[in-house]
């Protein structure tokens, strides 16, 4: 029976989380009904397709009416139109601002402009996210960007308070805003193996070390813009490669420290000057906006690729960087320790994560190959980074490796392929996979 | 003497953008009462203006205070052109006029515009200083309390029940005035809203005067309705039951006895005014059958201990001469018959005496709008009485219908003043009919009384129905002489669990053919085999198993016609419709193996080309009544083998259904051996408790025998295809899914352990009949499916609340346009504890959630944040509050009255505050209580009327989107008003009207909604606090935080 009119309004607004997710994912009412039918809701309460359709319509209408409020979540708390219990409000907001990792990876570092918005259908097609959902996510990015752009105080805090998001989500948005503001290049082929979470981690490092906010916490845009003075100071580091004595001294200090701790000592020794030159040059060029954008590409090209060609393990990289960093403190003539630390803290952890990921992505392929021949074989090449990673990298990185492994669920790393009804669950899995849980199968 | 009304405009928030250039608004506020208007300053360029105005003072008559609403208009200042209206708030200040209700109105109100809906919110403070009025000729009735609740309100005790009060006021509908052609839709809507607000204020005042005249201080079961008669005007009418209520001091409010037991009241009156009654034993001979000396001080043992000492109510001054009223026509036959009836005569006569004491209105109509009663109030129940009358609203045609029965509506301009009399006369006629029906049933009173209308163009069906009953006169008079007698009569022959089922009429001279047996419980008195009533199941009644919702649905096509012809056609159809509805109800009742209906409500709605009939009731198995017989199917043509076979299969299906239903509703009556029963009932016979008549037929014998002649009642004959379809449709009612129950009474018989989950909802569906040439059968099917699908939809939507029961399912049908059927449902879903289901039977008074046990500590289930999310709550205690609705809301309103500036700095400070400003959770329920809570204060009646119109229907999501928004807006405005009064719940909520007109081609729609209810403060049952003071706030707050942590 098709109704001319069919509404159901509860004093406490009734919302089904499953339908909400379908709505967020941009399903049409009819598609949502089909998905729900397949999900077996009908048996639950002896419902018919009519009932399901009417319920879905009602809920969609409710969500549409709520959407306006979700654009400024603080309004949701004191509006009078809908009586929604606080924990449901939190759920509504959190889910509304949750994004697909695959989608965000595509727009990360791009200007949040109309031009990008026009490309959303392509991105949608590429990532398997519906256009409607793409638009919502894009608009969310833009909205958050606009609001926090002019605010004083810490970026994450601001997002947290203005959009009432969970800490995790607020951090992710901070990363998105930060990347969009500085327009970091992330789309190059060489960076394709990196997930959003990898970049988010780097963004966290950058925000807490390189921005204005790292030194002064009551300025506008303190967490969004890099500290110009600091970038200027970085030029001073050139002395490390330009001064021959300093360079040799540094090299010997590093090599002494590394002796007996690694198998790749020779390669490290031969490459030292090259690598050091690479890192210091990156630092010195950061006054150029263009070079800031290429920061990640430079790190990959100047450091990670040479390491890869010498088959350093992630442990090697970590070890090398630690000593490379520490040894500088022993150089008596070097006067820029503070700047050096501020620079290296970020570079060290970023390179670590970039390298670990590369290791994994290749480890994965090696794992896949092995798997073909020998079932349940373990991959030794990718085990080492995992055992090393936690503890050493601290907070931000730790949770990247914490994801429990779940046998039987495989997703290619870095991209979430989504279809079908159990998306909300599967998405979590893909996140886990993206964080490196997968190789532990 | 006048009163002083003070209003202060504090702030606004979320205002709409009125200036496109700046994306901001220059808002100011006009505050208007009567003819006085004040303005605030303009708050430039802000969507969250802070006016913090001075106190605007209005010095007005208290008559105006009662009639007029305070009108707050928010406008956008415009230097060059006229100021644009943003929206309005109408604040009914009536609750402030009663010392026992609210003392201040303070809070955020949604700013409402009839075209744009809610546009932001405004914070307003209102106070009233009332001077004592000693003028005897005053026109105001300040201080009379009004309750929508159709029972004695929870924290009061009925000292006296005075009886029926009614009033109606009439005015021209602004929508049909000539000026409407030149003014904007907004102006027209606002004129209408304001007029209705005024009229209901006036109506309430007038009823209040009548109550004062009768010596009462309150109206319970207040039922106000609008008749939008189109060109012929707008009628606002109300009925109610006048009472003298005594507030129970909250400290002693009995936790377990939510029903007040006023038995001590008459007792003490007795000792205070014995002289008054000395002259009354006129009908002494009637009391011979009763014995025992008067024991004035004897109160019912159950209550005397729990009640505090109280001051006797003031002696009543209205003693009128005891002239015989028309009630003396009570069946004299009672005298000659057996003992049981003789005993009835006593209270009957005492009631008569009482009648003569009270005011004229009550003498005329011993009606009570109550549906639940204090223990012992209801003595016997006769059955449903109803009356309908078809009237023509035409003002051109001369009286036509039913000979002398129709009244001409004269031209507005000349005789507006005469109009109310006409309408009064219509209703009076109907009430007389009801009264005579009740008399025929041997009853002196009608309880659960209600009136309604259905209007289509110029035809109007007036309906009234109630339950004929015999009441305990103690509550209606202040005398004492027979108190011992009544007590005696109560305690001895009629235990409360079955007493009300015993027949009030004479066994040998029954008003209709009925099969009587001795009561299955007490075995002393006669009971009928089926009982239909419009009241709630008495708390003390013994019930076997559970109840369920039973609906009879019917469509009848009629030819389109005009005026008189149309009215005649309708009145000719009505008896057939009632007959069929009744048959359906009876069959469905049998099919569920039940023997009584409560809360019966029959609605007949008229459209241009059809009539819709919907009867809803809650079926139960009363232990006192005999078990119902099965249903027998009989073929017309014996010998036809295939037909025989067909009949056999149907018979089998029916038997299976009955067996299944017995299991479903847990109906396992104790087996009774035949010799125990005085007269066994081999085959009970169907007859009717239902009296109906029409204006034309009322001069004839009023009781139309609705039974199936002399045939065996439960034999359904299959003589044509229609009959087959009827039987099939009987079987199509889908059973409720497991975990669900449904009923249209306050509570589900058989479920006692309610938990605190409550979800009130309104659902509206409109179906467009596509096929032009539909048959009655086809229509019936569509209509039935519509109702069934609605129910199914509810079950599905509320599946997360299982186990749960839909209570007070109130269906309203309408035919808004020729091809449309509209069904509106308001109900509440309540969770209950399944495990405790079994153990509880008759040991505890099976009443309302009010006497819920104390183990249900968990409070607002659906609104309480779970611990994890509670962590996200701000640390400040105020924002923790909204999830705790038992919060005595003074604090929150204080908080709300000082809104924090919505600045960046604040939001930086607060920790996930959801805005930081708390919104009080307001629960709404159509019931008179909230499970797991205790009402500690009634704050006044909520009676709101809204119009919403749109000229951009498509943009608002079609009619569904439009109505969805509107209903949500109405809910939010009700909640806001309740919160501003300091309340946290609305009980006895109902949506009286939901009238939707659409014109999709023009992209337009208009909707009118009228809602009402009682604003209350309730606390969790376990909270024991003497007064709703700060102490309790602290207490509830700490418990809230405890809960959260």
What is the pLDDT at residue A220? Answer: 60
Nearest to B964 among A4, A7, A48 (CB): A7
Confidence of residue B137 (pLDDT cuts 50, 70, 90): low
Inter-chain CB proximity B797 and A76 less than 8 Å: no
- What confidence tier does B691 reach under pLDDT thresholds 50, 70, 90? very low
Residue B240 scores a pLDDT above 90: yes
Instruction: Say yes or no for a CB contact (<8 Å) between A46 and B734.
Output: yes
Confidence class of residue B408 from pLDDT cuts 50, 70 and 90? Answer: very low
The secondary structure of A402-423 as a DSSP string is -PPP-TT----TT-----SSTH
- Is residue B910's pLDDT more than 80? no
What's the pLDDT score for residue B855? Answer: 35
Nearest-angstrom CA–CA distance, A403 and A400: 7
Q: Minimal Cα distance from B783: which residue of A?
A: A1
Percent of chain B with pLDDT over 70: 65
Cα(B278)–Cα(A301) distance, integer angstroms: 113
Which segment of A81-90, B355-364, B556-565, B635-644 scores lowest on mean pLDDT?
B355-364
Q: Using a CB-CB distance cutoff of 8 angstroms, which residues of chain B are in contact with residue A50?
A: 789
What is the arithmetic mean of pLDDT over A238-263? Answer: 83
Cβ of residue B484 closer than 8 Å to a chain A Cβ: no
pLDDT in tens, A314-364: 888 888 888 888 888 888 778 788 888 888 888 888 888 888 887 777 665
pLDDT at site B636: 63
pLDDT-above-90 percentage for chain A: 22
- Residue B957 near residue A64 (C-beta atoms within 8 A): yes
Q: What is the pLDDT of residues B322-374, one digit of tens each?
A: 333 333 333 333 322 232 333 333 444 444 444 444 433 345 688 899 898 88
* A381 confidence band (pLDDT: 50, 70, 90): very low
**Shortest CA distance to B534 belongs to which of B465, B603, B599, B604?**
B599
User: What is the pLDDT, as a whole number, of residue A60?
Assistant: 95
Q: Does B767 touch chain A (CB under 8 A)?
A: yes
Of B513 and A235, more confident: A235
Q: What is the pLDDT of residue B858?
A: 36
- Contact of B17 with chain A, judged by CB distance below 8 Å, is answered with no
In this complex, the residue of A47, A81, A162 whose CB is nearest that of residue B969 is A81
Q: How far is A80 from chain B (nearest CA, A)?
A: 6
Of A4, A81, A160, Cβ closest to residue B959: A4
Q: Are B212 and B142 in contact (CB under 8 A)?
A: no
d(CA B869, CA B521): 53
Residues of B in contact with A81 (CB under 8 A): 110, 118, 968-969, 972
pLDDT mean over A28-54: 85
* First-to-last C-alpha distance (Å) of chain B: 53
How far apart CA B93 and CA B63 sit, in angstroms, is 12
Q: Which residues of B touch A13 (CB under 8 A)?
A: 968
Would the CB atoms of A7 and B872 count as touching at under 8 Å? no
Of A14, A74, A87, the CB nearest to B907: A74
pLDDT of residue B716: 64
Higher-confidence residue of A255 and B487: namely A255
Q: How far apart are the C-alpha atoms of A220 and A212, rounded to whole Å? A: 9
**pLDDT at residue B125, as a whole number:** 94
| Coil vs helix vs strand at B797 | helix
Residue A55 is predicted with a pLDDT of 92
Residues B175, B808: Cα–Cα separation, whole Å? 34
pLDDT value, residue B678 = 42
pLDDT, residue A142, reads 93
Chain A residues with CB-CB distance to B968 below 8 A: 9, 13, 65, 81-82
Is the pLDDT at B302 greater than 60? The verdict is: no
Rounded to an integer, the average pLDDT of B597-607 is 93
Record the tokens describing residue A69, joined without a space. Answer: 């409020």
- Looking at residue B79, its pLDDT comes to 80
Average model confidence (pLDDT) across chain A: 78
**The predicted structure's pLDDT at residue B1024:** 52
Any chain A CB within 8 A of the CB of B765? yes
CA of A27 to nearest chain B CA: how many angstroms apart? 18
3-state secondary structure labels for all residues of B971-1037: HHHHHHHHHHCCCCEEEEEEEEEEEEEEEHHHCEEEEEEEEEEEEEEEEECCCCCCCCCHHHHHHHH
**B975: pLDDT confidence band, cut at 50, 70 and 90?**
very high
Tokens of A384: 């080492």
**In the predicted structure, residue B842 carries a pLDDT above the cut 50:** no
Q: Which of B763, B785, B996 sits opposite A1 (nearest CB)?
A: B785
pLDDT band, residue B660 (cuts 50/70/90): confident
CA B918 to chain centre: 31
Question: Of the ranges A296-300, B860-864, B905-909, B932-936, which one carries the lowest mean pLDDT score?
Answer: B905-909
Least confident piece of the model among A435-439, B649-653, B775-779: A435-439
Partners of residue B916 in chain A, C-beta under 8 Å: 74, 77-78
Q: How many CB atoms lie within 10 A of CB B997?
A: 12
| DSSP E strand boundaries for B707-819 | 715-718, 740-742, 754-768, 804-814
Subunit contact A87:B118, Cβ cutoff 8 A: no
Task: Report the length, in residues, of chain B.
Answer: 1045
B785 close to A (CB below 8 A): yes
CA distance, residue B417 to nearest chain A CA (Å): 40
CB contact under 8 A, A46 and B912: no
Residue B805's contacts (CB-CB under 8 Å, 6 or more residues apart) are B740, B741, B742, B743, B747, B748, B751, B829, B830, B832
Q: What phi, psi does B349 have (nearest 5°)?
A: -70, -40
- Please give the residue that has the higher pLDDT: either A9 or B542: A9
Report yes or no: B148 and B941 within 8 Å, Cβ to Cβ: yes
Write b or e for each residue in A48-86: b if 16 or more Cβ atoms lie within 10 A of its Cβ, otherwise e.
Answer: eebbbbbbbbbbbbbbebbeebbebbbbbbbbbbbbbbb
CA distance A406 to chain B (A): 26
Query: How would you class B908 by CB atoms within 10 Å of its CB: exposed for 0-12, middle for 13-18, buried for 19 or more?
Result: middle
Alpha helices, DSSP H only, in A330-394?
Answer: 337-373, 383-392
Asked which of B24-38, B358-372, B482-496, B1013-1027 is least confident by mean pLDDT, the reply is B482-496
Q: State how far the Cα of B976 lies from the Cα of B109, in Å rounded to an integer.
A: 6
Interface of B with A in 724-763 (CB under 8 A): 734, 737, 759-763
Q: Do B915 and A11 touch (CB under 8 A)?
A: no
- Model ipTM value: 0.78
Among B1010, B734, B1005, smallest CA distance to A5 is for B1005
B872 vs A: CB within 8 A: yes
The confidence band for B491, taking pLDDT boundaries of 50, 70 and 90, is very low
Confidence of residue B702 (pLDDT cuts 50, 70, 90): very low
Asked if residue B768 has pLDDT above 80, the reply is yes
Residue A313 confidence class, pLDDT cut points 50, 70, 90: confident
pLDDT at position B135: 58
CA distance A161 to chain B (A): 6
Residue B844's CB: how many other CB atoms inside 10 A? 12
**pLDDT given for residue B320 in this prediction:** 31
The sheet with strand B1004-1020 has its strands ordered as B923-924, B985-999, B1004-1020, B933-950
pLDDT band at A137 (very low <50, low <70, confident <90, very high): very high
| pLDDT for B122 beyond 80 | yes
Does the beta-carbon distance from B764 to A151 stay under 8 Å? no
Q: Residue B395: what pLDDT? A: 52
Indicate whether B22 pLDDT > 80. Answer: yes
B765–A50 C-beta distance less than 8 A: no
Is residue B790 within 8 A of residue B563, CB to CB? The reply is no
Residues of B in contact with A45 (CB under 8 A): 737, 795-796, 799
pLDDT of residue B707: 40
Across the range B701-722, mean pLDDT stands at: 48
More confident residue, B159 or B842: B159
Q: Provide the CA A439 distance to its chain's centre, in angstroms.
A: 19
Residues of chain A found within 8 Å of residue B998, distances taken between Cβ atoms? 5
- How many angstroms from the chain centroid is the CA of residue B79? 50
Closest CA to B1043 of B913, B859, B918, B911: B859
* Cβ separation B765–A158 shorter than 8 A: no
Chain B residues whose CB is inside 8 A of the A151 CB are 904
Cβ atoms within 10 A of the Cβ of B673, count? 7
Residues of B in contact with A89 (CB under 8 A): 914
pLDDT one-digit tens code per residue, B845-866:
433 333 333 333 333 333 333 3
Query: Residue A218: which pLDDT band, with cuts at 50, 70 and 90?
Result: low
Instruction: Please name the member of A54, A83, A153 whose beta carbon is closest to the beta carbon of B908.
Output: A153
Residue of B741, B714, B709, B742 whose CA lies nearest to B730: B714
Express as a percent the part of chain A with pLDDT over 70: 79
Here the tokens at position B784 are 């039935």
Given a contact cutoff of 8 angstroms between Cβ atoms, the answer to whether B995 and B922 are in contact is: no
Residues composing chain A? 441
Beta bridge partners of B75: B28, B85
Instruction: Give the B window 959-978 contacts with A, CB below 8 Å.
Output: 959-961, 963-965, 967-969, 971-972, 975-976
B960–A46 CB contact, under 8 Å = no
Phi, psi of B790 (to 5 degrees): -60, -50
| Chain B environment of A62 (Cβ under 8 Å) | 964
What pTM did the predictor assign?
A: 0.79
């Amino acid at each position: 029976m098709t109704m001319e009119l069919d509404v159901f309004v509860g004093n406490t607004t009734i919302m089904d989380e499953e339908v909400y997710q379908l709505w967020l994912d941009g399903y049409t009412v009819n598609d949502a009904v089909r998905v729900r039918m397949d999900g077996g809701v009908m048996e639950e309460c002896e419902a018919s397709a009519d009932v399901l359709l009417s319920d879905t319509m009602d809920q969609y209408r409710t969500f549409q009416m709520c959407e306006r409020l979700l654009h400024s979540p603080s309004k949701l708390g004191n509006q009078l139109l809908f009586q929604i219990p606080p924990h449901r409000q939190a759920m509504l907001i959190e889910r509304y601002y949750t994004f697909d990792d695959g989608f965000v990876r595509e727009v990360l570092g791009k200007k949040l402009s109309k031009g990008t918005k026009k490309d959303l259908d392509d991105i949608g097609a590429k990532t398997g996210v519906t256009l409607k959902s793409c638009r919502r996510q894009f608009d969310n990015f833009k909205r958050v960007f606009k609001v926090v752009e002019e605010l004083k105080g810490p970026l994450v805090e601001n997002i947290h308070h203005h959009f009432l998001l969970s800490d995790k989500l607020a951090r992710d948005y901070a990363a998105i805003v930060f990347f969009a503001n500085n327009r970091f290049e992330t789309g190059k082929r060489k960076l394709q193996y990196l997930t959003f979470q990898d970049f988010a981690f780097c963004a966290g490092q950058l925000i807490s070390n390189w921005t204005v906010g790292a030194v002064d916490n009551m300025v506008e845009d303190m967490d969004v813009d890099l500290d110009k003075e600091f970038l200027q100071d970085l030029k001073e580091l050139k002395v490390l490669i330009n001064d021959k004595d300093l360079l040799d001294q540094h090299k010997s200090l590093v090599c002494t420290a590394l002796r007996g701790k690694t198998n790749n000592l020779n390669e490290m020794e031969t490459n030292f000057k090259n690598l050091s030159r690479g890192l210091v040059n990156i630092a010195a060029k950061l006054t150029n906006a263009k070079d800031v954008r290429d920061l990640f590409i430079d790190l990959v090209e100047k450091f990670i690729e040479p390491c890869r060609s010498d088959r350093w393990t992630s442990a090697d990289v970590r070890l090398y960087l630690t000593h490379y960093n520490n040894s500088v403190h022993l150089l008596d003539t070097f006067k820029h320790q503070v700047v050096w630390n501020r620079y290296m803290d970020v570079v060290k952890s970023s390179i670590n994560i970039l390298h670990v990921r590369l290791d994994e992505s290749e480890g994965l392929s090696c794992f896949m190959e092995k798997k073909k021949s020998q079932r349940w074989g373990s991959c030794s090449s990718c085990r080492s980074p995992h055992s090393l990673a936690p503890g050493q990298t601290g907070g931000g990185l730790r949770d990247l490796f914490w994801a429990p492994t779940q046998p039987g669920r495989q997703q290619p790393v870095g991209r979430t392929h989504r279809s079908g009804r159990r998306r909300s669950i599967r998405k979590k899995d893909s996140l886990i996979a993206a964080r490196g849980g997968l190789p532990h199968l | 003497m006048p009163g002083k009304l003070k209003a202060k405009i504090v702030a606004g928030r979320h205002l709409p953008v009125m200036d496109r250039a700046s994306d901001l608004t220059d808002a100011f506020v006009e505050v208007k009462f009567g003819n006085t208007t004040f303005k605030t300053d303009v708050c430039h360029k802000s969507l969250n203006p802070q006016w913090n105005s001075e106190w605007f003072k209005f010095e007005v008559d208290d008559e105006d205070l009662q009639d007029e609403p305070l009108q707050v208009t928010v406008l956008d200042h415009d230097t060059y052109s006229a100021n644009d209206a943003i929206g309005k708030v109408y604040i009914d200040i009536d609750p402030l006029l009663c010392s026992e209700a609210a003392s201040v109105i303070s809070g955020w109100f949604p700013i409402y515009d009839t075209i744009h809906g809610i546009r932001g919110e405004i914070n307003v403070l209102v106070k009233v200083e009332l001077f004592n009025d000693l003028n005897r000729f005053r026109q105001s009735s300040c201080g009379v309390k009004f309750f929508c609740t159709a029972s004695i309100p929870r924290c009061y005790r009925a000292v006296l029940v005075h009886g029926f009060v009614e009033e109606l006021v009439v005015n021209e509908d602004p929508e049909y005035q000539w000026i409407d052609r030149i003014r904007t839709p907004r102006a027209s809507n606002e004129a209408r809203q304001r007029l209705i607000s005024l009229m209901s204020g006036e109506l309430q005042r007038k009823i209040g005067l009548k109550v004062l005249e009768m010596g009462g201080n309150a109206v319970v079961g207040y039922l106000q309705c609008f008749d939008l008669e189109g060109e012929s005007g707008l009628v606002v009418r109300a009925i109610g039951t006048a009472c003298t209520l005594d507030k129970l001091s909250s400290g002693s409010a009995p936790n377990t006895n939510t029903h007040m037991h006023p038995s001590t009241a008459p007792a003490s009156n007795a000792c205070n005014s014995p002289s008054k009654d000395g002259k009354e034993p006129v009908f002494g001979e009637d009391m011979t059958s009763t014995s025992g000396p008067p024991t004035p001080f004897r109160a019912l043992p159950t209550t005397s201990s729990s009640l505090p000492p109280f001051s006797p109510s003031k002696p009543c001054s209205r003693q009128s001469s005891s002239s015989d009223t028309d009630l003396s026509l009570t069946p004299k036959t009672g005298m000659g018959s057996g003992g049981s009836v003789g005993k009835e005569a006593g209270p009957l006569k005492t009631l008569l005496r009482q009648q003569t004491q009270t005011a004229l209105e009550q003498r005329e109509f011993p009606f009570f709008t109550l549906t639940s009663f204090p223990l012992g109030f209801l003595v016997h129940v006769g059955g449903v009485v109803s009356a309908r009358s078809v009237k023509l609203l035409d003002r051109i045609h001369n009286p036509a219908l039913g000979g002398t029965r129709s009244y001409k509506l004269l031209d507005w301009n000349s005789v507006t003043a005469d109009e109310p009399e006409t309408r009064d006369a219509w209703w009076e006629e109907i009430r007389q009919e009801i009264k005579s029906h009740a008399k025929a049933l041997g009853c002196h009173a009608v309880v659960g009384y209600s009136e309604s209308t259905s209007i289509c163009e110029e035809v109007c069906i007036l309906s009234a129905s109630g339950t004929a009953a015999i009441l305990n006169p103690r509550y209606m008079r202040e005398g004492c002489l027979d108190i011992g007698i009544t007590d005696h009569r109560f305690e001895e022959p009629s235990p409360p669990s079955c007493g009300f089922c015993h027949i009030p009429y004479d066994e040998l001279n029954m008003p209709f053919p009925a099969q009587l047996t001795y009561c299955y419980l007490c075995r002393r008195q006669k009971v009928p085999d089926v009982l239909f009533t419009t009241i709630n199941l008495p708390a003390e009644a013994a019930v076997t198993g559970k109840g369920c919702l039973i609906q009879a649905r019917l469509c009848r096509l009629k030819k389109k016609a005009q005026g008189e012809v149309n009215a005649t056609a309708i009145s000719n159809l009505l008896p057939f419709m009632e007959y069929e509805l009744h048959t359906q109800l009876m069959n469905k009742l049998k099919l569920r193996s039940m023997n009584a209906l409560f809360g019966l409500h029959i609605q007949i709605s008229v459209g241009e080309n059809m009539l819709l009939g919907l009867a809803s009731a809650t079926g139960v198995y009363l232990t006192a009544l005999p078990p119902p017989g099965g249903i027998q199917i009989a073929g017309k043509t014996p010998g036809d083998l295939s037909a025989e076979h067909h009949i056999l299969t149907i018979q089998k299906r029916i038997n299976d259904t009955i067996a299944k239903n017995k299991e479903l509703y847990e109906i396992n009556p104790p087996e009774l051996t035949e010799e125990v029963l005085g007269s066994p009932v081999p085959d009970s016979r169907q007859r009717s408790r239902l009296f109906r008549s029409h204006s034309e037929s009322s001069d004839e014998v009023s009781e139309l025998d609705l039974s199936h002649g002399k045939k065996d009642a439960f034999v359904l004959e299959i003589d044509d295809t229609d009959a087959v379809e009827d039987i099939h449709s009987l079987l199509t009612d889908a059973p409720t899914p497991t975990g669900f129950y449904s009923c249209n009474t306050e509570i589900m018989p058989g479920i006692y352990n309610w938990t605190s989950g409550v979800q009130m909802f309104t659902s509206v569906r409109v179906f467009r009949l596509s096929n032009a040439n539909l048959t009655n059968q086809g229509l019936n099917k569509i209509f039935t499916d519509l109702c069934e699908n609605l129910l199914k939809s509810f079950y599905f939507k509320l599946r997360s609340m299982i186990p749960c029961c839909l209570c007070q399912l109130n269906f309203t049908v309408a035919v808004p346009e020729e091809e449309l059927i509209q069904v509106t449902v308001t109900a509440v879903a309540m969770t209950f504890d399944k495990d405790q289901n079994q153990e509880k039977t008759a040991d505890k008074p099976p009443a309302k959630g009010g006497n819920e046990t104390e183990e249900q500590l968990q409070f607002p289930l659906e609104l309480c944040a779970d611990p994890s999310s509670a962590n996200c709550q701000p640390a400040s205690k105020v924002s923790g509050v909204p999830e705790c609705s038992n919060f005595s809301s003074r604090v929150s309103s204080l908080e709300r009255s000082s809104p924090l500036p919505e600045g960046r700095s604040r939001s930086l400070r607060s920790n996930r505050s959801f805005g930081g400003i708390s919104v009080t959770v307001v629960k709404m329920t159509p019931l008179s209580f909230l499970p797991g809570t205790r009402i500690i204060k009634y704050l006044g009646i909520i009676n709101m009327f809204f119009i919403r119109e749109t000229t951009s229907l498509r943009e608002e999501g079609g009619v569904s989107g439009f109505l969805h928004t509107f209903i949500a807006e109405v809910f939010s405005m009700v909640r806001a008003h309740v919160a501003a009064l300091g309340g946290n719940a609305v009980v006895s909520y109902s949506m009286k009207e939901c009238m939707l007109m659409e014109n999709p081609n023009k992209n337009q729609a208009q909707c009118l909604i009228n809602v009402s209810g009682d604003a209350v403060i309730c606390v969790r049952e376990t909270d024991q606090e003497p007064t709703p003071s700060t102490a309790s706030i602290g207490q509830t707050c700490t418990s809230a935080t405890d809960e959260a942590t």
